[in-house]
Amino acid sequence: MTDPAKAWTQRYREPPAGPVISPAIMTPTIATLLTHRSVRAYTPDALPEGALEAAIAAAQSAATSSNLQSWSVVAITDKARKARLAALAGNQHHVEQAPLFLVWIADLSRLDRMAHTHHLGTDALDYTETFLVSTIDATLAAQNATAAFESLGLGTVYIGGLRNHPEQVAAELKLPPRSIALFGLCVGKPDPAHPAAIKPRLPQSAVLHHERYDTTHEAETLSAYDDRASAFQQEQNLPPRAWSRAMSERIATVAALHGRDKLRTILHRMGLARL
């Protein structure tokens, strides 16, 4: 059984302020979620039989806006294809190394095909709202799959780098118009030679508001978190850095978007979010 105080302290790098989680609340599901860490080094072992299908069933069990089910996923094990996708994602070695690479698709193309079969229009597919619906649904599904893989002791890391070159990724995967790869997910057995640590998150007081949004204590909270995040960096043999400064630098200029500032134009070309 997971010790709630220990799980909490691992996640936040500070003990709970009060009696936060009783053992009855620390279910195996919550315990698995609290120990998430991105894994970027894998053994060459294939996934246990049925793991992919179980994770996709978990993904499909997520709620889906209006039951539209407007997402798809492409499972890739072919080494050469993984290598090409790794290059498109900014030469991320773990994409090639992971035995399984899943690409999560915001997919309005199936609805498009269905509407044509039923001799109906597709006006709503052009709107940003419908694109947003498919990205939300795909993301909820992917996270359910991630939790399922992690419950099996497998490691994962999301790969947003795929959005650096959406049209090349679409060509590689033969995606139809009105669909786009949102992100990838590396899946595999974590390499014990390169263990991944649990990265501390913002204190709950920074993200959880009661009744109304409140920034009264935000500055102190962020400053205390900067210290903890910097200590974590040093533990990982990385240069110390204040999280709030590093994240601010990431949004300071368009250059940090790695070409994704063109995404709106690309989405239009791919038949998405045109209105």
Ligand X SMILES: Cc1cc2nc3c(=O)[nH]c(=O)nc-3n(C[C@H](O)[C@H](O)[C@H](O)COP(=O)(O)O)c2cc1C
Contact positions toward ligand X, by CB under 6 A? 36-38, 40, 89, 92, 157-161, 183, 199
Cβ 134 to ligand X shortest distance, Å: 15
Give phi and psi for 198, each to the nearest 5. -80, 120
Between 92 and 109, name the residue whose CB sits nearer to ligand X. 92
Between 92 and 179, name the residue whose CB sits nearer to ligand X. 92
Between 10 and 69, name the residue whose CB sits nearer to ligand X. 10
Q: What is the DSSP string of the chain?
A: ---HHHHHHHHHSS--SSS---TTT--HHHHHHHT------B-SPPPPTTHHHHHHHHHHTS--GGG---EEEEEE--HHHHHHHHHHTTS-HHHHHSSEEEEEEEE-HHHHHHHHHTT---GGGGSHHHHHHHHHHHHHHHHHHHHHHHHTT-EEEEEGGGGGSHHHHHHHHTPPTTEEEEEEEEEE-B-TTSPPPPPPPPPHHHH--SSS---TTHHHHHHHHHHHHHHHHHHTTS----HHHHHHHHHHSGGGGTTGGGHHHHHHHTT-S--
Cβ 2 to ligand X shortest distance, Å: 18
In the bound state, the residue with its beta carbon closest to ligand X is 160
Cβ 251 to ligand X shortest distance, Å: 15
Cβ 175 to ligand X shortest distance, Å: 18
Cβ 160 to ligand X shortest distance, Å: 3
Cβ 196 to ligand X shortest distance, Å: 6
Between 101 and 158, name the residue whose CB sits nearer to ligand X. 158
Between 125 and 229, name the residue whose CB sits nearer to ligand X. 229
Between 125 and 133, name the residue whose CB sits nearer to ligand X. 133
